[in-house]
Structures are given as C-alpha cells and as structure tokens.
C-alpha cells in the first residue's frame, strides 16, 4: 500500500527542470559574486578602505540590501526566480532572518521579532560553530601544540 | 579577470546548491547548513584561502565563507592564546556580518509590514 502510494506520487510529481534551474542559479549567484567584487573595488579604490575591512563592508552592504528588499517584498521574487542563486549567497542568510522577523511581528516585539529571528538562520550558525569548533580542536591538537 | 572568476565561483557554488535541492530534495535550510560545514572543512590546507585569492568576492559571498571565517578566526586566536582562543576567536571575523544582519532584520521588521 505504502509502496504503491509512493510509486503513484513519484509518477505524478512534477519533474524539476534541472538545467533551467541550475542555469538561473548560476546566473543569479554569479551576479551576486560580481556585484560583491564591484563593491570591494569601490571601497578599496574610491573610499580607500583597506582590503580586509572592505571585505566585511561588502558583506554588510549585501546584508543591508537583502534586508531592505525583503522588507519591500522584492526578495521573494528574486528567490523564486534564482533558487539557490538567491539563498546560497550571504543575502539569503539576511533574507531568512528578516523574513522570519517580519513573520513573527504579529506576536509582538519580544516573542515575535526577537524570538523568531533565528528560526531559519539559527541552524547555519549552530552547524557552523559546532563544525568549526571540532575542526579547530583537531587542528590545534595535531598542528599547533 | 577577477570579475570572471568571481562570477564562475559564486555561480558554480550556487549550481551545486540548486542540484542538491532538485536531485536530493533537500530544503534550502539543509543546503545552507551543510555548505557552512563544507566551508569550515575547506579551510584546511588553505584551500578556501586560495579560492578567495582566486575569485575574491565570488568566494566570500556564498555562505561557505561563513564556515571558513568561523574556523579562521578561531584558529588565529588559538595561535596567540592557546586552546581557549578557539572559543574566543570563533566570531572574530563574522561578528560584523551577524551584527549587521540582526540590526537590519530588527529595523526592517519594525518598519515594514509583512507581505502576503
């Protein structure tokens, strides 16, 4: 029964358009990368920020743009169109936080915005910190001490 | 030239993410979480540093660079302070990004109304 059911589901499921989706993700994600590089060059050459700070400033700028466009409701279209090209760059991280915060707004500032901001982005931070801590310990023990 | 590299590397990482979503039916949350782990792993042997040298923002913009920055900050603090430094330096490089994301998300949520 269960097997039959999943067979029918698989037969009738809409097959994702692998090539089209990947192509759009490539174009959108690549464009975000180029835009970021343009921002770095702008900060280094025009505003004479040093290289390391320009990198952080570029990321902060992208985060600001993503948060604003999420608030205006534009980022959703970008996400439907670009797929992974919209959620893999740091802009997707900012979008997930802003949209979670907006969604919780109706429950108030503390329990809504404050508590639900990391609903989606939290796993990224948790996985990042746990893996970086384990890898950091391994490298500290075997290569530094 | 660095613009072409940035386009290819950022685009390529996004294509991998899109294929994981389409073929293995992972959610964006799974993909981004695993990409952060992959980024931290690629910090070993300076692989990710060389990728950043090669592609500039193309390697810094994808979420993989978050894992790389976490481990990088942790290790550089560990070099001067010992094992305690792993915890103390963890957020050194990513602090500005996380702070910005929290502040902007909070302000946007206060100012704008949810759509749809």
Residue B103 token pair: 């502040």
According to the model, what pLDDT value does residue A143 have? 82
Q: Which residues pair with A89 in a beta bridge?
A: B62
Which residues are CB-neighbours of B73 under 8 A, at least 6 positions away?
Answer: B89, B90, B91, B92, B93, B94
Which residues are CB-neighbours of B17 under 8 A, at least 6 positions away?
Answer: A25, A29, A84, A87, A88, B31, B32, B35
Q: What is the DSSP letter of A107?
A: G
In contact, B32 and A88? CB cutoff 8 Å: yes
Residue B81 token pair: 């302070």
Q: Chain B residues with CB inside 8 Å of A114's CB?
A: 106
According to the model, what pLDDT value does residue B113 have? 83
Q: Is B53 on the interface with A (CB under 8 A)?
A: no
Residue B38: pLDDT band (50, 70, 90) is very high
**Residue ranges in chain B assigned as alpha helix (H):** 2-24, 28-41, 47-55, 57-60, 64-81, 84-89, 95-111
Name the minimum distance, in Å, from the CA of A1 to any CA of chain B. Answer: 23
Task: Indicate the residue of B63, B87, B111 with minimum beta-carbon distance to A90.
Answer: B63
pLDDT at A109 over 90: no
Q: In percent, how much of chain B has pLDDT > 70? A: 98
Q: How many angstroms separate the CA atoms of B95 and A50, rounded?
A: 18
Residue B98 token pair: 């996380």
Name the minimum distance, in Å, from the CA of A94 to any CA of chain B. Answer: 6
pTM higher than 0.95, yes or no?
no
ipTM: 0.91
According to the model, what pLDDT value does residue A11 have? 75
According to the model, what pLDDT value does residue A1 have? 61
Task: Indicate the residue of A55, A67, A144 with minimum beta-carbon distance to B104.
Answer: A67
According to the model, what pLDDT value does residue B116 have? 58
- Give the CA dihedral A57, A60, A66, A67, nearest 10 degrees: -140
Task: Indicate the residue of B3, B21, B97 with minimum beta-carbon distance to A84.
Answer: B21
Sorted by where each begins, the domain ranges of chain B are: 2-111
Q: What is the pLDDT of residues B55-95, one digit of tens each?
A: 989 999 999 999 999 999 999 999 888 889 999 999 999 99
CA triplet A34, A38, A40: central angle to 5 degrees? 115
Q: In percent, how much of chain A has pLDDT > 70? A: 99
As a whole number, mean pLDDT of residues A7-17 equals 75
As a whole number, mean pLDDT of residues A113-140 equals 92
């Amino acid at each position: 029964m269960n097997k039959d059911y999943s067979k029918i589901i698989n037969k009738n499921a809409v097959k994702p358009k692998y090539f089209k989706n990947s192509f759009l993700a490539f174009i959108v994600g690549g464009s975000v990368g180029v835009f970021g590089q343009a921002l770095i060059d702008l900060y280094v050459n025009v505003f004479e920020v040093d290289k390391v700070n320009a990198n952080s400033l570029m990321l902060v700028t992208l985060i600001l743009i993503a948060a604003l466009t999420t608030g205006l409701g534009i980022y959703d279209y970008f996400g439907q169109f670009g797929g992974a090209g919209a959620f893999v760059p740091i802009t997707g991280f900012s979008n997930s936080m802003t949209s979670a915060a907006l969604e919780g707004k109706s429950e108030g500032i503390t329990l809504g915005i404050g508590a639900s901001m990391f609903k989606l982005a939290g796993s990224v931070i948790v996985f990042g910190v746990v893996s970086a801590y384990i890898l950091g310990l391994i490298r500290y023990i075997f290569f530094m001490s | 030239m660095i613009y072409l590299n940035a386009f290819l590397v950022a685009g390529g990482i996004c294509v991998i993410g899109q294929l994981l979503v389409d073929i293995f039916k992972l959610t964006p949350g799974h993909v981004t979480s695993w990409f952060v782990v992959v980024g931290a792993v690629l910090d070993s042997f300076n692989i990710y540093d060389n990728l950043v040298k090669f592609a500039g923002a193309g390697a810094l913009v994808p979420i993989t660079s978050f894992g790389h920055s976490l481990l990088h900050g942790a290790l550089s603090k560990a070099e001067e302070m010992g094992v305690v430094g792993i915890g103390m330096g963890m957020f050194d490089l990513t602090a500005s990004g996380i702070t910005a994301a929290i502040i902007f998300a909070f302000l946007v949520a206060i100012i704008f109304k949810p759509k749809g």
